[in-house]
Amino acid sequence: MPVALVADLHLPSWLGHPVELHRRPAPPGVPEDARQRFGPWTLNVKHDRFTGQVSCVLSAPRMSFDRAAVTFQFSPHTETYDAVYRVDTGPAFSWRLSAMALASHGVKLETDDPTNPSGGRVILPYSAVVGGKTVWIRPSDKKRAWPFRIDDLAPAVAAAKTAGCGAGFVGAVAE
């Protein structure tokens, strides 16, 4: 039998006061949590009221942004070790050219799956794609290239920076 939550609970006095079931507004001077849309991108900004820290999540379908890097997600079973990419109509590059720079910024390049360590992901530095409208990625020479729209990414990253998302999130992104 389902149990309904009731805001006015009558509990024994030894249990204390009923738990408040709604979230209190932020105290003065503490920003509210926010959610903003930029085309396909969604920026979620959370403020920890206890520590004052800001945490951010910036994502779009099959894409995410963190540590000044953009992750493009294929099927988890797709091997992307030999993936190549191009921004708009520019030259094609292997994503591995950026692997050392990404790792030095704390970006985890491999999953825990020993059969496919890439997990179907291609991770590129934001600096390699900023200013572009579409990133084309071919996961292997046997697969076709897939387009990923990023034209709304730059305003989303700028909003994240303005919202106080830390350097660990936005990194040293281009202005």
Q: What is the pLDDT of residue 124?
A: 94
Q: Which residues form the domain of 81?
A: 34-170
Please tell me the total count of domains within the chain. Answer: 1
Q: What is the pLDDT of residue 26?
A: 54
Does the residue 52 lie in any domain? yes
Does the residue 68 lie in any domain? yes
Q: Which residue in this structure is represented by tokens 């997990």?
A: 119
The SS3 of residue 137 is strand
Does the residue 175 lie in any domain? no
Q: If residue 127 lies in a helix (H) or strand (E), which one and from where to where?
A: helix 126-129
- Which pTM does this prediction carry? 0.76
Does the residue 29 lie in any domain? no
Does the residue 61 lie in any domain? yes
State the pLDDT confidence band at 19, using cuts at 50, 70 and 90: very low
Between residues 9 and 36, the one the model is more confident about: 36
Considering only CA atoms, which of 36, 57, 59 is closest in space to residue 46?
57
pLDDT tens profile 35-87? 999 999 999 998 887 887 888 999 999 999 988 899 999 998 898 989 999 99
Q: What is the pLDDT of residue 173?
A: 47
Does the residue 18 lie in any domain? no
Q: Kindly state the average pLDDT of the residues 128-141.
A: 94
Instruction: For residues 60 and 40, give the distance between their C-alpha atoms in angstroms, rounded to a whole number.
Output: 5
Across 9-114, where does the E strand assignment appear? 34-38, 41-47, 54-60, 63-66, 69-73, 84-87, 93-94
Residue 88 CB neighbours (<10 A): 13
Does the residue 143 lie in any domain? yes
For the record, the structure tokens of 43 come out as: 């920026």
Does the residue 13 lie in any domain? no
Domain with residue 62: its CATH number is: 2.60.40
DSSP state of 24: P
Q: Which residue in this structure is represented by tokens 């403020």?
A: 47
